[in-house]
Structure 1
Amino acid sequence: MTLTEAAPVEVPRIKHGGFADEMRSAAMKLHTREQARGGEKEAEGPEERSVAKWEPTIEGYLKFLVDSYMVFYTLEGIVHKAAHPCYAEFRNTGLERSDNLAKDLEWFKDQGQAIPEPSDPGVRYASFLEDLSEKDALAFICHFYNIYCGHSAGGQMIGKKIAEKILDKKQLEFYKWDGELPQLLQAAREKLNRVSEGWTMEEKNRCLEETGQSFKYSRNIFRLILM
């Protein structure tokens, strides 16, 4: 398959069921048909089209990595502090990315690349997550789920294609996991199902309703790659 013929990304094979399945369904409705099999939206901007059609730059990609680091570092800090007891369930999932991103940014620095300061999309999202995590645990868990699952599926395809286009096929640490990714995702889904077992229908709907917000913030960060 050539770069221009690349098919929509497939989510790693994991068992479905429980509330995690409802969250996955809500997320798929906000994917475009070009981004994923089962996506329902039409692409509105270049970042919502197939990654095979992107024209990334090193400068833009570095902005994306820096802002992604800020978001993942913030997420992991929130979960570690666990202002709400349910957050503690999601410690040490194996999906954590900030340490890997730090290694990648150090590698770029060693190559002579200037590492930019965090930009508005990353700063805004990190601040939003900090505030949300204290006020609305249900909504925060929606962001947690979509950020990690989004990176593990579509993020892998993006990393591979960008590496082919501008990094001479180098695989970054951002796209490596200690362990089998489908198993890590399945374990995280099972934790989510356990946490949500006692939720009312109203509480589950509150979590699902936040899906659009999580996609909006993430889309703004992905857009940096094309700058």
Structure 2
Amino acid sequence: MASSTLPLSQSTPSFGSFRIRPVSASLSGVRLHRLPSRPRRGTAVGLPLRTMVISATTTEMPKKRQTASGGRGRGFVDEMRTVAMKLHTRDQSKEGEKESEAPPVAKWEPSIEGYLRFLVDSKLVYDTLETIVQKAVCPWYAEFRNTGLERSEKLAKDLEWFKDQGHTIPEPSAPGASYALYLEELSEKDPQAFICHFYNVYFAHSAGGRMIGRKVAEKILDNKELEFYKWDDDLSKLLQNVRDKLNSVASSWSREEKDHCLEETEKSFKYSGAILRLILS
């Protein structure tokens, strides 16, 4: 699926508090610009130091890679996946290094009220991500418009279904509101860190998120499959398309900028985990 791009002049305009400098890489015929990283953020983001990492943050499932002769090789997405998998527990992945602090999903006791809070907060996060890429304050973001992974409209349909069943739809709660605000700030001031969250949110939902959705549906929805867990095209192709775009964008980054992106992974897990725990609230 082709994505929209923003035309860029040969001048060096500023975006927010930083200026961009031209680099030689190009994407889809449009000249790219590399934005310098801001000074690295501290670890304090209003989150508890010990936050449970839950299996819905499972990043994309391992996939066979084509060799360079096949047109696709290993890229920066492989690095993002490797870092994410290390944040899993050993019972979630053989690559995991964390001790398990949460009961397995099979033993969860979800409620309709908690699940609705999770869906509402998730919609706020996806609304925020989709608005950010549409505005594209950083030119890179325009590459991720209309990828087919968007979830906001799907979640809106699901919430309408719950309303039709007589359920009251709650307002967004603190976990979702905090994450949405953080994403907005990152998108304007720290694009490499924002890309880390973009990757982890969408790819986690396509893997562990789907598994949790099935388990919850078995327990409280009489196995109904929500629109949140459906895609309008072949999911593997949609994911590969976004992998290619992420690799292309990151190809213009310095090693320091790539490392800065990777360092944001744990915060992505913490914010997503806080929203996921709403299912059990």
2:257 corresponds to 1:207: no
% identity of equivalent residues = 68
8 A contact 2:155–2:228 mirrored in 1? yes
In structure 2, how many angstroms separate the alpha carbons of the residues matched to 1:37 and 1:54?
A: 22
In structure 2, how many angstroms separate the alpha carbons of the residues matched to 1:73 and 1:28?
A: 26
2:81 corresponds to 1:24: yes
* Cα RMSD, aligned residues only: 1.6
Aligned partner (choices 33, 36, 50) of residue 90 of structure 2: 33
2:232 corresponds to 1:178: yes
Residue 244 of structure 2 aligns to a residue whose secondary structure is helix
Q: Which has the larger radius of gyration?
A: 2
Taking structure 1 as reference, are residues 207 and 218 closer, same or farther at Cα in structure 2, changes over 3 Å only?
Answer: same
1:12 offset after TM fit, Å? 6.7
| Cross-structure match for 2:112 | 58
Q: Residue 11 of structure 1 aligns to which amino acid in structure 2?
A: M
In structure 2, how many angstroms separate the alpha carbons of the residues matched to 1:145 and 1:14?
A: 19
**Cα deviation 1:89-120 (Å, max 9, x = unaligned):** 11111100000000000000000001011000
| Cross-structure match for 1:68 | 122
Consecutive unaligned residues of structure 1, counting only runs of 5 or more, are 1-7
Q: Residue 136 of structure 1 aligns to which amino acid in structure 2?
A: D
Aligned partner (choices 231, 238, 243) of residue 189 of structure 1: 243
TM-score, normalised via structure 2 length:
0.74
For 1:63-212, what aligned pairs fall within 5 Å after superposition?
A: 63-212=117-266
Return the structure number with greater helix share.
1
Consecutive unaligned residues of structure 2, counting only runs of 5 or more, are 1-57, 66-72
1:14 offset after TM fit, Å? 5.8
8 A contact 2:59–2:204 mirrored in 1? no
In structure 2, how many angstroms separate the alpha carbons of the residues matched to 1:191 and 1:10?
A: 15
8 A contact 1:71–1:125 mirrored in 2? yes
**Cα deviation 1:120-163 (Å, max 9, x = unaligned):** 00000001101110000000000000000010000000000100
Return the structure number with greater strand share.
2
